[in-house]
């Protein structure tokens, strides 16, 4: 196994690039996903724990933002230049939207997990827990 020193400074651009390439943000060798969008519990190469991530819906929001800008820009350009029928628009943009979303989801999620790792968020700090509890606890009397 590769030893990754947890106290060293983590380069967030490198971690995001490694994550976008579906590789471990720590070592860049092991695969970050064990299924299409299921993050592995730990890196098979270096043993870095990856189960701490909390990407949740953020990758989907980023993909919607990116795909929306691409598709709407192309749709408007085609509409102004060629004025195709509504059916032509439907046959062009629906498959393109679906394909772009499915192609972009894994790299975007990997990049977000890499960013969380680099910023030591959600247990990636080596202590196994969050610094801040997201749900405030009521004071006990």
Quick check: 8 pLDDT over 90? no
Q: Is the pLDDT of residue 9 over 70?
A: yes
Average pLDDT over residues 4-32: 90
Mean pLDDT of the chain: 89
- Segment 78-86 shows an average pLDDT of 97
Burial class (CB in 10 A: 0-12, 13-18, 19+), 58: middle
Which of 27-31, 87-91, 118-122 comes out lowest in average pLDDT?
118-122
Highest mean pLDDT among 2-16, 87-101, 127-141: 87-101
pTM of the model: 0.83
The region of weakest confidence among 1-5, 51-55, 116-120 is 1-5
CA 42 remoteness from chain centre: 16
Q: Check if the beta carbon of residue 15 is closer than 8 Å to that of residue 115.
A: yes
Q: Domain spans of the chain?
A: 19-118
Sign of CA dihedral 31, 33, 39, 40: negative
């Amino acid at each position: 196994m590769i030893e990754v020193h947890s106290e060293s400074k983590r380069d967030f651009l490198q971690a995001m690039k490694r994550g976008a390439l579906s590789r471990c943000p720590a070592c860049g060798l092991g695969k970050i996903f064990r299924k299409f969008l299921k993050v592995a519990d730990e890196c098979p190469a270096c043993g870095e724990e990856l189960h701490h991530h909390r990407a949740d819906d953020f990758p989907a929001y980023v993909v919607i933002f990116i795909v929306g800008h691409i598709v709407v820009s192309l749709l408007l350009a085609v509409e102004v230049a060629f004025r195709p029928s509504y059916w032509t628009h439907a046959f062009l943009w629906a498959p393109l939207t679906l394909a772009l979303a499915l192609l972009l989801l894994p790299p975007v999620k990997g990049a977000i997990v890499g960013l969380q790792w680099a910023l030591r968020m959600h247990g990636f700090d080596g202590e196994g827990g969050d610094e801040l509890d997201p749900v405030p606890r009521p004071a006990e009397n």
